[in-house]
Chains A and B, each alone.
Chain A
Amino acid sequence: DTGVSQDPRHKITKRGQNVTFRCDPISEHNRLYWYRQTLGQGPEFLTYFQNEAQLEKSRLLSDRFSAERPKGSFSTLEIQRTEQGDSAMYLCASSFQENTEAFFGQGTRLTVV
């Protein structure tokens, strides 16, 4: 499968715990995006990378959230001290460069109990 890969697919965690998600973009895609989707809503932009550089962060990305793309390939999204409001689908997407289509992964469903 050469699409965007996300791991894990599902994560249940207790409030206050830290979680980390991984995204592997399509090979040779140098742009990588993170979105969050809550039930019944469209995805909302969180942040994006051009290679290893994080170019923009949404106001939705509080201090408890951090994203990295250390070698310009895979990316991680960490949420510290999770809250129930963090429960959502976290989607990763990638594109070859600017002005090209973004392809989404299957997402990681986070449930904070």
Chain B
Amino acid sequence: QQQVKQSPQSLIVQKGGIPIINCAYENTAFDYFPWYQQFPGKGPALLIAIRPDVSEKKEGRFTISFNKSAKQFSLHIMDSQPGDSATYFCAAATQGGSEKLVFGKGTKLTVNP
């Protein structure tokens, strides 16, 4: 049973575009939702995270939108750059912490120059 469903699997945008990656979860006990960025051959790097008491969080060019009633959250990347080309993973965890993260399957983003 996949607890966090991520879409799309891959995404291609032009430089300056705003790619949007969506995730949906099933477990209502989840209360911590981070996004990770991973480059080939590297470990995932934490980008931004949100807890369900807010509907939106922005850090630099990255924004998380969170819809608790729909059990969905999404990542928006403003003014995307070729250097943003990577695989992005959403994740979820319970107890407000980062133990036992449940990851989505990832979205491979390509930003063309």
Contact = CB atoms under 8 A, between A and B. Distances in A.
Interface in B35-89: 36, 41-46, 49, 89
Given A40-B106, A42-B106, A98-B95, A106 B100 contact: no
Contacts of B32: 99
A45 to B, nearest CB: 5
A56 B96 CA distance: 17
A101 B6 CA distance: 21
Nearest to B99: A48
B89 A98 contact: no
A100 B99 CA distance: 9
B42 A45 contact: no
Contacts of A4: 43
A91 B105 contact: no
Interface of B: 6, 32, 34, 36, 41-46, 49, 89, 91, 95-106
Interface of A: 4, 6, 31, 33, 35, 40-45, 48, 55-56, 91, 93, 95, 98-107, 109
Closest 6 CB pairs of A and B: A42-B103, A102-B98, A104-B43, A99-B97, A98-B97, A99-B96
